[in-house]
Amino acid sequence: MSNNTAGLRGISAGNTAICTCGKDGVGLTYRGYDIHDLAAYSTFEEVAFLLTRGHLPNQSELEAYQEKLLPLRNVPKPIKEVLRAIPGDAHPMDVLRTACSMLGCIESEKSLNQQLDIADRLLSFFPSALCYWVHYARGNKEIEVITQQDSLAGHFLELLNGCTPSEEHRRCMDVSLILYAEHEYDASTFTSRVITATLSDFYSSVCGGIGALRGPLHGGANEAAMELIELYKTPDEADRGITQKLQNKDKIMGFGHAVYKISDPRNLVIKKWAEKLSHGHANAHYYAVSEAIEKRMWDEKKLFPNLDFYSASSYHFMGIETDLFTPIFIISRITGWSAHIMEQRADNRLIRPNAEYIGPEELKYVPLSQR
Ligand SMILES: CC(C)(COP(=O)(O)OP(=O)(O)OC[C@H]1O[C@@H](n2cnc3c(N)ncnc32)[C@H](O)[C@@H]1OP(=O)(O)O)[C@@H](O)C(=O)NCCC(=O)NCCS
């Protein structure tokens, strides 16, 4: 395979009416709406509706949608039993992949008419399943997955921390979920579409998406970025450390992008939140450290932070453990995956590219006894 096509970079692999990403090197739209408008004026529920139904909801549609989502937050008993068997040192991405798979066993998809209901179910289910496991496996406590929070962001933070979140934290989580919701044919979404195209079931497509998201070159970058930021106590230390890492040819997680060439439009939004939440925090210096890393990366490599970089410190400032960062990505991205699964099904063709063969040819077969 020539380097030009390695990683399918720059190749259009299908049509979509859900998202544009990297138009003119910078832009991001969900169903025609600019990400900056959605992050400024929408709630995550409005964006989830937009992605899965194709238009922004009016007031009564939004109320009906939120009412539908509330009871879907429950975690069925057999799933609780499975979650209780998963040890506390498991990665929470594996926990959500398992929970999704188990839900597919007990609420399996029997017809295509159920697909929108399954999308809504998974959206409501993931925060509850994750928090149930976190408290049981790591806090030795079995929680009720019930809160009075209308928003999914508030529900998640209250379940996780056991107390009502501040409005600032709730809105930051809401905005973060909006920013992570959809990203065209990125690795996890493409994986979901490939699985969908075989006419497999909804849950299998989502489990595949979770598997692709877990890696540090994709969703796992937000956890890796936090581990990097935590290495440094001062901006000067960060500056020297990053220079050294670049000399060693290390990858700096949370920087660069396969499609955006100039900047990641989501970074502007999340960076402001990271700065805001840093004030008064015991580790407020992580913000200055992050800015020092950003400057060094730009000066040395002309590489810019992607969404994962300042999401890391934003989540940290909200008191969230690092290995829950990528699971938050799932809690949001289930909306984009669902939209793509349904879009793929509506105009399906098996996805089956070719490979350029680079192995040996015309070898003479040697019988086992003579090898
Ligand atoms: C996202 C990513 C996989 C895109 O990679 P890509 O499209 O394959 O980019 P390329 O490999 O063409 O990168 C071009 C050059 O920049 C370098 N580069 C890209 N991202 C880099 C990073 N984060 N740190 C250091 N160098 C980086 C590459 O090593 C390459 O250098 P070279 O030409 O000297 O070999 C890549 O930028 C990366 O690994 N980033 C870190 C992981 C991350 O943050 N992922 C989340 C993405 S939203």
Each residue's pLDDT tens digit in the chain (371 positions)? Answer: 455 678 998 899 999 999 999 877 779 999 999 999 999 999 999 999 999 999 999 999 999 999 999 999 999 999 999 999 999 999 999 999 999 999 999 999 999 999 999 999 999 999 999 999 999 999 999 999 999 999 999 999 999 999 999 999 999 999 999 999 999 999 999 999 999 999 999 999 999 999 999 999 999 999 999 999 999 999 999 999 999 999 999 999 999 999 998 899 999 999 999 999 999 999 999 999 999 999 999 999 999 999 999 999 999 999 999 999 999 999 999 999 999 999 999 999 999 999 999 999 999 999 999 99
Spacing, Cα 236 to ligand 1 middle (Å): 24
Label residue 194 left, alpha or beta by phi (over 0 means left) and psi (-120 to 50 means alpha): alpha
- How many Å apart are CA 291 and CA 235, to the nearest integer? 8
CATH number assigned to the domain with residue range 221-317, chosen from the 4 options 3.40.50.300, 1.10.230.10, 2.60.40.1930, 3.40.350.10: 1.10.230.10
Among protein residues, the one with the nearest Cα to ligand 1's atom 37 is 256
> Which residue, 1, 112, 124, 21, is CA-closest to 66?
124
What's the sign of the alpha-carbon dihedral 171, 185, 94, 348?
positive
Binding site membership of 8 for ligand 1 (Cβ less than 6 Å): no
Q: How far apart are CA 31 and CA 285, in angstroms?
A: 38
11 CA → ligand 1 middle, Å: 18
Ligand 1 centroid distance, CA of 177 (Å): 24
Domain 19-214+327-346 fold = Citrate Synthase; domain 1 (1.10.580)
Domain ranges of the chain: 19-214+327-346, 221-317
Cβ pair 130, 78 in contact under 8 A: no
Q: Strand order of the sheet with strand 19-23?
A: 19-23, 27-30, 33-34
Q: What is the pLDDT of residue 1?
A: 46
- Determine whether the shortest distance from the Cβ of 317 to ligand 1 is under 6 A: no
Please pick, among 155, 169, 257, 340, the residue that the annotation labels catalytic: 257
Q: Residue 24 has what pLDDT?
A: 75
- Ligand 1 centroid to Cα of residue 323, in Å, is 22
Tell me which of 218, 228, 301 to substitute to probe ligand 1's pocket, judged by most ligand atoms within 8 Å of the beta carbon.
Answer: 301
| Of 184, 251, 296, best ligand 1 pocket probe by most atoms within 8 Å of the beta carbon | 251
| pTM metric for this prediction | 0.96
Ligand 1 site, residue 255, Cβ cutoff 6 A: yes
The pLDDT, as a whole number, for residue 10 is 87
Tokens 């398992």: give the residue.
98
Q: What's the gap in Å between 302 CA and the centre of ligand 1?
A: 11
Is 264 assigned a catalytic role? no
308 lines ligand 1 (CB under 6 A): yes
Please tell me if the CB atom of residue 254 comes closer than 6 angstroms to any atom of ligand 1: yes
Q: What is residue 26's predicted lDDT score, i.e. its pLDDT?
A: 74
Q: Which of 169, 183, 218, 316 is catalytic?
A: 218
Q: For residue 257, indicate whether it is catalytic.
A: yes
**Closest residue (by CA) to atom 20 of ligand 1?**
256
**CA distance linking residue 252 with residue 309, whole number of Å:** 10
Annotated active-site residue 218? The verdict is yes
